[in-house]
Amino acid sequence: MSKPLTLLLEEQGPFGIDGDVDAAKQRWIAYRVANGYKATATPLLGDPESNLKLKKTGYAESQMAIVYGLSLLPADASGIDACVWRSPECTSACVLMTAGHSTFPTVRQGRKVKTLFLRDHPQDFVLLLAWELRRAAKKHGGIAVRLNVASDLRWERIAPQLFELEGIVFYDYTKAPRSQRDQLGGKYHLTFSVSEKSQSEGEALKWLADGGNAAVVFDTKKGEALPETWHGYPVLDGDITDARHEDLPSAVVGLRAKGSARSMEAGGFVKKGVSS
């Protein structure tokens, strides 16, 4: 297995956001054709209306009503690891592989080609991404964006200029330790995602103590109340909205187990739904 994608890109970057977009588009089309697709420049960002996970953002009263997401192929399913801090249980339960239209081979193949285009032509990818983001922000008068819908890349190192784009709120989940990520002074909201790894709860407490957020999957059933606290920190219901950047500081984002995680025994990736 080659070097994880984020490390590979960080070594080569950072990549700028201004340049010849038309030339980048032509290389994207050629890459798609070489991989058996039609000669079209399919957008890198998902249609905000088509992603169920991002659709329930609860933005009704917020200015940032539209959420765009960049969906790559998670874990090492494309041949390069897009989530270097993942755990065995999150990998096997990954809803980005096991649920919804992510299970369709055609969707997976499209995401694979996109992931490999990022690996092989990172500067073109970032130029196209910035172009799409600018266009979407202008069209909607402001958007929210998740660059790591199904990956865990340090975009703050790969393409820090993206976070200077106007009218865009960036937010993501990460499994990286607090010391490994930079929220660029609040321009990139990150929520730590707790796993079954032995050091993961300790890392979550570091994020929380630092005013950040940590997401915890509980064995609480659908329709039932989540625990009120976790390690003394208040638990928010993360199933109501995906607008993580609007969460209170130092709050836990409680999630109910979904997909194959429902059958996992509490104590690992899934935690017991009692206050602690």
Q: Which residues bind ligand SF4 (CB under 6 A)?
A: 74-75, 83, 86, 90-91, 94, 96, 150, 152, 175
Provide CB contacts within 8 A for 217, sequence distance 6+.
Answer: 194, 255, 256, 257, 261, 269, 270, 271
**CB 60 to ligand SF4: min, Å:** 27
**CB 193 to ligand SF4: min, Å:** 7
**CB 208 to ligand SF4: min, Å:** 19
**CB 86 to ligand SF4: min, Å:** 4
Per DSSP, the three-state class of 136 is helix
Among residues 9, 40, 200, 23, which one has the least CA distance to residue 110?
40
**Do residues 243 and 58 lie in contact, with contact meaning Cβ atoms separated by under 8 Å?**
yes
- Residue (84 or 208) nearer to ligand SF4, CB: 84
- Residue (86 or 146) nearer to ligand SF4, CB: 86
Phi, psi of 131 (to 5 degrees): -65, -45
Q: Where are the alpha helices (DSSP H) in the chain?
A: 5-12, 21-34, 52-55, 88-93, 95-98, 105-120, 122-140, 155-158, 200-209
d(CA 88, CA 81): 13
- Residue (153 or 236) nearer to ligand SF4, CB: 153
Using alpha carbons only, how large is the chain's radius of gyration in Å? 18
**CB 191 to ligand SF4: min, Å:** 12
Q: Which 8-state DSSP code applies to residue 79?
A: S
The encoded tokens of residue 6 equal 């984020």
- DSSP, residue by residue, 82-127: S-TT--HHHHHH-HHHHSGGGGSHHHHHHHHHHHHHHHH-HHHHHH
**CB 33 to ligand SF4: min, Å:** 28
- Residue (127 or 254) nearer to ligand SF4, CB: 254
- Residue (54 or 96) nearer to ligand SF4, CB: 96
- Residue (128 or 150) nearer to ligand SF4, CB: 150
